[in-house]
Amino acid sequence: MDEIVQLLEAKDVTVTQRQGSKLQTSRGPIFVKIGTGGASADVSLLEYEAKALEHLSNAAKNLHIPKPVLFGALKNGSGFLCMEHLTLGGSGSQKKLGEGLAEMHLSEPQYTKFGFPVDGCCGACPQYNNTDGKEMNWVDFWKEFRLGSQLEMLKQNAPRDTEIQQLGKQLIDYLPNLFSMLDVSAIKPSVLHGDLWSGNFGFDSDGQPCIFDPACYYGHHEADLGIARMFGGFSSEFWNAYHAKIPKAPGFDKRALLYELHHHLNHYNIFGSGYRGGALDLMRRILR
């Protein structure tokens, strides 16, 4: 921590008190994160998180998102990120969370391609983000950088699972059907949190909804709801408020299964076969 304090003070941020991973500073309380998905994580992942928090903070006017202060590499090679410390534990309204998320999705994008300027991670799994900025529509992005990428990783992580690869191939071919009720060319990039389950939101001491620990990229706004469906924890107030601002488009319910599937596959890659059954069930339901 001494090394990080020195780096902060070189940026004119005076540290007045240390409390574990929390620092009291001239810029207010700061939370220090060393590594991500393991303390030896490379600085590139902390850079990704810093950029993600910045993009989300700029877009979300009614959500509290920790602002990045400084990121870099320690002498041992581990990455670190200093960000605004959130004081969580307050009570708040999930209606405001739903409204704030929809407003964030409707904001003018700061990045005009599907993806993100740098690659990142979703949990401990790599997340490839079209960093070359290829011109592609949303269906092609999902095919290559989300569904296709997860299936490729499973070839390494579950090499004997031929069933999921067979169904995955069918699903890749079927993808355009899930968007046949929409004008795919009209789907524009929205900034997405990317990993918004119930453990990644809370309320601050003023009752304002907070979101944190993102796996941010720019994509179809519906995709940001996938893991919320997977794990639950979001009330009817949240869903009603969100859809009051962004009504469900034709075919929403079937695409919701697709976006939930992404997180089952991601968890299968990270945690193993305990998530295989859920992924196969969703694939079959989508392909019916």
Mind telling me the catalytic residues? 195
Q: Are 30 and 85 in contact (CB under 8 A)?
A: yes
Q: On the CB side of 213, how many CA atoms lie within 13 Å of its CA?
A: 15
For residue 73, list its beta bridge partners: 79
- Which residue in 206, 223, 204 sits closest to 215, CA to CA? 223
User: Is 64 in a helix, a strand, or coil?
Assistant: strand
Helix (H, G, I), strand (E, B) or coil at 184: helix
Half-sphere exposure of 230 (CA within 13 A, CB side): 25
**Helix, coil or strand: residue 83:** strand
Stretch (H or E) spanning 15: strand 15-19
Helix H or strand E segment including 226:
helix 226-231
Tell which residue, 97, 77, 72, 88, has the closest CA to residue 8: 72
